[in-house]
Amino acid sequence: MEIVSENRSFGGTQGVYRHASETCGCDMTFAVYLPPQAKVGPVPVLWYLSGLTCTHENAMTKGGFQEHAAKHGLAVVFPDTSPRGEGVANDEAYDLGQGAGFYVNAKRDPWKPHYRMYDYVVSELRGIVSGMDGIGDRHGITGHSMGGHGALTIAMRNPELYDSLSAFAPIAHPTQSDWGRKQLSAYLGDDEGCWAEHDSTLLLEEHGWKSDILVDQGASDQFLDLLKPEALAAAIAKRRQPGTVRMQAGYDHSYFFVNSFAGDHVAWHAERLK
């Protein structure tokens, strides 16, 4: 594993790393923040999955997670959102291809050889991160937009791997949204029955989640009709699932929104992970 950079941050270390991924068949870059408490012993881990067009860097530099993670003694992992590089399929649209992996394992060409972000996050990268000094064995997961979709669906499908769950403005019902139908069709094929395991609303209705869930959504989000938070809220109510969906007045879909509530989410995860 190549060290791209390591910087001091709130008494801890913000690192960026590159490795050859067997899962994705290309070099992948990710970031890990280790709080000062990791020098004493293993600390819990919070995974942050980013949204469309992002790399590992966006949330690392704009999310403001390091200060809160240092306060509560959490490591934070920032994966990339897709495979990248020469020979990796791409599309001219911003919401398909590189930067838009949607946290699924693609079944159709030209995406199939590299677009395996579900396995990458759940298995390969988790194994790499778990082998780092200072990393403990309790993991929480969160994410924004496409990454919120990824966090919810990955946790619900793997409850034995994650101990806490939250999301920022997730794509909550992708099988019924243009942010979802397009990508699921491209990556998985036209059989909509295969899409359900990547829809948090449908997963929650069928399986629920083992603990409580926190979701923050900007009430002035310009993409509300694509995100469909009302579908997830209805599923929470129907399932009688412990959870909170907060509509935050005046907030949009930007990292200003994420940064504003990052502290709440880190504290929420810290309470459950410790």
Report, as residue numbers or ranges, the catalytic residues. Answer: 145, 221, 253
- The closest of 13, 4, 34, 20 to 120, measured between CA atoms, is 20
Element containing residue 167 per DSSP (H, E): strand 164-168
Q: Which of 154, 149, 172 is nearest to 227 (CA)?
A: 172
CA distances from 29 to 35, 48, 237 (A): 20, 14, 39
DSSP 191: -
Burial 170-185 (b: 16+ CB within 10 A, else e): bbbbbbebebbebbbe
AA identity, residue 195: W
Reading the block at residue 45, the tokens are 């881990």
Give the span between the Cα atoms of 271 and 268, in whole angstroms: 5
Give the whole-angstrom CA distance, residue 12 versus residue 135: 13
